[in-house]
Amino acid sequence: MMKVLHVAAEIFPLVKTGGLADVVGALPQALIAQDTDVRLLLPGLPAILDSLADLRGLCDIGPVFGAARVQLLQARMPGSQVPVYVVDAPYLFRRGGNPYQDSSGREWPDNTQRFALLGWVAAHLAAGELDPLWQPDILHAHDWHAAMACAYVANHPPTPARTVYTVHNLAYQGLFPREDFHFIGLLARFTATSALEFHGQLSFMKAGLKFADRVTTVSGSYAREIATAEFGCGLDGLIRSRGAAVRGILNGVDYDIWNPETDPGLAANYGADSLERKRLCKQALQQAFGLEARPDALLFGVVSRLTAQKGLDLVLGGITHLLELGCQLVVQGNGDPALEAAFTYAASIHPGQIAVRTAYDEALAHRVIAGSDALFVPSRFEPCGLTQLYALRYGCLPVVRCVGGLADTVVDASEANLQADRATGFSFRDASTTALSIAVDHAVALYAQPERWQQVQRRAMAQEFSWNVAAQAYLALYRELLPPRPA
C-alpha cells in the first residue's frame, strides 16, 4: 500500500484562513478511500492541539529553530481515522492570532523559524528518522508554509521518499530577509539564486518549485498561467524551466459538507428536482440581512476574502448599475479595511437592497450561497476557487472572470451553450466594471426566463467536482514517481 505524508499549516475544520484548509481536510480522506496509507503533519497551533483525538507523544526532538523544546506528537483527526503527526513547539506555535499573523494582522517576526521547522520535521519523517514504524513513499507539501520540506529532503540525501509540492496561490510566497538564512540550517549553496534567493530575500515558495520532484497547481488553467509573466509573480522563468514536472489538478468539493439536500443549516433543503424550495432559503436570507422581501429581485451574493485579488472593487464599481436593474446584493467576508468600509458604506446608503457582514462565518457562508440566485467571483487571478464549486452544487449561478480554475469550472450561458444544455453560469474576460456589468445584464435577462434559468441551475447542480476525481489524479502522479513493483 502506498504511504503518503501531507504537510500543511492549516486544516478544516480546526484552523482555516482560506481554501487550503478545505483541501487538506478533504484530500487525505479521499486518498484513504482509494486504499492509500495517508498521514498528516501539522504545526502545534492551539486550535489543533485542543481538537485532536488520542493525542500522545512519539519522540523528543530537542532544542531546534530557537525553540527550547520540540516534540513530535501523534493523534487522529476528530470524526475520522486520519492519523496526524503534530510538531509541538510551544515557543513557536502556541500563540493567538491565525497561523501566520498576530491578532492585529502583523506577520509573526519568527515565521522563518516556525515554518522552516515544519518542513524540517517533514523531511526527517520522510527519512525514517522520527517514526520507526512508518515512513512515507511520497511527501506532499502544501503551499509556502510547507515548501521547505522539499529543500530539506534535497539537503538530506539519501531520502527514498519522493516529493510533490502544490501551489495553492503563487501570490503568497513566504518571503523573508536573507539574513534569516542562519536560522534554517541549510548548506550555503541554498542561498544562491538557483536555490532560495529571490531579489535579495529568501523565498520559501522557491524551495518547493525548485526542489520538489513534481509541482502541482490546483487547476489546469492556473498551471499554464503561472508560467507567464502576467501571472508568474516573478517566478515564471523557474516554472517554465520545470517543464512537464508542473501539472494542474483541479480541487474537489466535499459533498458530504456542501450538499443542499442534507445541509442542516439551511432554512429548507432542496435538490435539482425541488428547486422551488430554494426560494425559502432566499426568503430567509433576505429576512436575516434586512433586505426587502422581494422574490422577483435577482439576489447576488459574495462569499470571499475582501482582497484586490478577488476583484471585488469591480462589484463596487457596478453597484449603481446593479441597483438600477432592481437587483439585491449580500456580501459576507472580511479582509482589506478599505473594501470592508466601501461595502459597509454602500449598504448604509442602500438599506433593503445591499447588506454586508464583515466576518468569516462558515455556517453563514452556506446560507448565503443557498439563498442567493447568483454568486460573484470576479477574481483578477484564481488558482482554483472553491466558492464557485459550492455555488454550482447549490444552484447559485456563478458570475466569474474567465481565469484559472474559474475558467475550468464555469460554462458561460451563451445562446449556443444554452441550446446544448452545457451552461452553468456567466463569465467575462476583462477585469473591468463594464465587463462585469455586461455579465450582470446577461444574468438579469436569463432570470426573467424562469424555465431557462432553472435549466442552467440543474446543469450546474449536476456537475461532478468530487474529491474522488482529484484523488485519482494525484494517485496517478504519485505512481509516476515510484519505482515499478516487482512482478
Are residues 120 and 193 located together in one domain of the fold?
A: yes
Are residues 29 and 41 located together in one domain of the fold?
A: yes
Coil, helix or strand at residue 357? strand
Flag whether 314 is in a domain.
yes
CATH of the domain at 446: 3.40.50.2000
pLDDT at 19 over 70: yes
Flag whether 261 is in a domain.
no
Of the candidates 281, 286, 284, the residue with the CA atom closest to the CA atom of residue 270: 281
Query: What are 51-71's pLDDT values in tens digits?
Result: 998 999 999 999 999 999 999
The pLDDT of 117-127, averaged and rounded, is 97
Are residues 476 and 454 located together in one domain of the fold?
A: no
pLDDT band at 103 (very low <50, low <70, confident <90, very high): confident
The pLDDT of 5-33, averaged and rounded, is 94
Are residues 100 and 214 located together in one domain of the fold?
A: yes
Flag whether 424 is in a domain.
yes
CA-to-CA dists, residue 386 to 33, 140, 181, 218, 391, angstroms: 22, 21, 35, 10, 9
Identify the sign of the CA torsion 81, 85, 91, 92: negative
Flag whether 270 is in a domain.
no
Flag whether 296 is in a domain.
yes
Are residues 215 and 283 located together in one domain of the fold?
A: no
pLDDT at 342 over 60: yes
Are residues 227 and 284 located together in one domain of the fold?
A: no
Please give the Cα distance from 309 to 227 (Å, whole number). 18
- Number of domains within the chain: 2
Are residues 26 and 164 located together in one domain of the fold?
A: yes
Determine the number of helices (DSSP H) and then strands (DSSP E) in the chain.
Answer: 19, 18
Domain extent for 304:
275-464
Flag whether 315 is in a domain.
yes
Are residues 107 and 40 located together in one domain of the fold?
A: yes
Of the candidates 327, 446, 449, 325, the residue with the CA atom closest to the CA atom of residue 376: 327
Q: How high is the pLDDT of residue 223?
A: 97
| Torsion from C-alpha of 229, 410, 396, 417, nearest 10 degrees | 140
Q: 274: which residues sit within 8 A by CB, 6+ positions away?
A: none
Please give the Cα distance from 385 to 200 (Å, whole number). 32
Flag whether 263 is in a domain.
no
Query: What are 395-422's pLDDT values in tens digits?
Result: 999 999 999 999 999 999 999 999 999 9
Are residues 301 and 223 located together in one domain of the fold?
A: no
Q: How high is the pLDDT of residue 344?
A: 97
Flag whether 46 is in a domain.
yes
C-alpha cell belonging to residue 153: 529532503
pLDDT at 487 over 60: no
pLDDT at 486 over 70: no
Query: What are 240-270's pLDDT values in tens digits?
Result: 999 999 999 999 999 999 999 999 999 999 9
Q: 29: which residues sit within 8 A by CB, 6+ positions away?
A: 80, 82, 467
Are residues 135 and 237 located together in one domain of the fold?
A: yes
Are residues 447 and 472 located together in one domain of the fold?
A: no
Are residues 159 and 227 located together in one domain of the fold?
A: yes
